[in-house]
């Protein structure tokens, strides 16, 4: 699982945009959003660089959070 911080994610629209972008790229992707913490957890066959690019293309910058600091 990848855990990312998406700073500009502020509402349900953002959650939907990110979830749909991720699932368009990988229909099997599991996306769990903790909006209050601006955290997105993704289980996908896509690697971290791809996931960050997919979220960026949806209009949000994403930063990988190291598990050991999460
Ligand atoms: Cu929003």
CA atoms within 13 A on the CB side of 39: 12
pTM for the model: 0.91
Residues flanking ion ligand 1, Cβ below 5 Å: 10-11, 13-14
Query: Given a cut of 60, is residue 5 above it in pLDDT?
Result: yes
| Chain segment 45-58, per-residue pLDDT in tens | 999 999 999 999 99
The 3-state DSSP class for residue 66 equals coil
Q: What mean pLDDT do residues 26-46 have?
A: 97
Higher pLDDT, 26 or 68: 26
CA of 16 to the centre of ligand 1 (A): 8
The 10 Å CB-count burial string (b at 16+, else e) for 54-70 is bbeebebebeeeeeeee
CA of 23 to the centre of ligand 1 (A): 18
CA of 65 to the centre of ligand 1 (A): 21
């Amino acid at each position: 699982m990848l855990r990312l911080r998406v700073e500009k994610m502020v509402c349900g629209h953002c959650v939907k945009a990110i979830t749909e972008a991720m699932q368009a790229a990988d229909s099997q992707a599991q996306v769990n959003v903790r909006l209050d913490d601006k955290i997105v957890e993704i289980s996908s066959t896509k690697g971290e660089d791809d996931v960050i690019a997919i979220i960026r293309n949806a209009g949000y910058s994403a930063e990988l959070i190291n598990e050991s600091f999460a």
